[in-house]
Amino acid sequence: MHKKSIASIELTALVHELQFLVDGRISQIYHQNKKELLLQLHASGKGKQLLKIIPGKLLCLTTKKEVQLRPTSFCMQLRKYINSAFIRNIEQQGAERIVVFELEKETKYYLIIELFSKGNIVLTDDKYVIITSLERQIWKDRVVKPYETYVFPEQDVNWKTLTEKELASIVHISDRKNVATTLATGLGFGGVYAEEICVLGGIDSNIVPNDVTKEQITSIYATIKNILKQIKEPQGHIYDEQITPFPLKNEKPKKVMSTYNEAIDMLNPFVKVSPYEQKINALTKMVRNQNEAIENLTEKIELNKHKGERIYENYGSLQKLLDIVKELRKTHDWKDVERELQKENKILKIDLKNKKVLIEL
């Protein structure tokens, strides 16, 4: 599987599942290799738990432990300050790919896990002054090193608290090529979930942002809110190239795990996929999508063929109805036309607003 990191929406699902760790205690800390930290925890009623943290990639519960004989200096510092600390809160920083663990021992600490870009693990005191970090980093707008105050990266749009009016504004002023790209980059959903929001909302993902109607905005907004409800109790839906916390509408998962953490633990972000394998996976997916499109078109052809046959069989009565409507419209308004048409047994519905009549054949 080519997937190497997690998206904002996936992190939200993982954090929901980790809430049972609140009021648990850190019993040991391991630095399994340069890139992976392992927290051994004791959760009330659940016993020993292992939390795997790979900065810049993912975090999840795991059952696998590979302990190095000699802990790193960073690991020793974490043990010094937060071994035996209680976990008082676990939250995602807005919609960013950052998780903050509020810890309590003799005093309060914050363990900050950055899962964006190269990633980092930062321990601060109760005033966010940095005690230690996995890596020292200097950015143009912030510095991550001991004795500096930790500053969260400037937050993009928080899709979890977005109002429908704000969504409309973001979409309509977007200079992206289509609505899917706007959702992916402007709201931080990423390509997979941006496309899925369009599918679930019944929206053409290729619509130019400025052409998106008010009704379509409402549909997109309702879809986002529905997804937010779904990922409060996520499952792990495993596909060829993705692991999602809820099912994708037009794809069949290879496997479904009871929790999203369990599914994410199957990822190995350190395994490199050869260019040839990537190409094979891309072509396989393309063929599968084309076959599905052919099946959908075949179904539509059969349905429309059946409709055409029914229209042909009832051509006389349909022509009669059309003639009635044309004659009535010469001297009557649409309300009168509606009253006359209701006398016909085959009329199921009359839509005056859109000038449509639903007929049973």
pLDDT band at 209 (very low <50, low <70, confident <90, very high): very high
**Helix or strand holding residue 89 (H, E):** strand 86-92
DSSP 323-351: HHHHHHHHHS-HHHHHHHHTTSTTEEEEE
Interatomic CA distance for residues 93 and 99, integer angstroms: 6
pLDDT, tens digit, 9 for 90 and up, residues 88-140: 999 999 999 999 999 999 999 999 999 999 999 999 999 999 999 999 999 88
Q: The whole model's pTM is what?
A: 0.75
Find all residues with CB under 8 Å of 54, minimum gap 6, and list them: 35, 36, 37, 119, 269
**What was the pLDDT predicted at 275?**
61
| Size (the chain), residues | 361
pLDDT at 32: 76
Q: Are 126 and 108 in contact (CB under 8 A)?
A: yes
The token duo for 234 is 């996520």
Least confident of 106-110, 252-256, 290-294: 290-294
Q: What residue spans define the domains of the chain?
A: 8-144, 164-264, 274-313, 315-359
CATH of 8-144, one of 3.30.200.20, 2.30.310.10, 2.40.270.10, 3.40.50.1580: 2.30.310.10
Give CA separation, 23 vs 44, 212, 259, in Å. Answer: 7, 46, 21
pLDDT over 70 at 276, yes or no: no
- Quick check: 307 pLDDT over 60? yes
* Structure confidence at residue 4 (pLDDT): 83
What CATH number labels 164-264?
1.10.8
Average pLDDT, the chain: 89
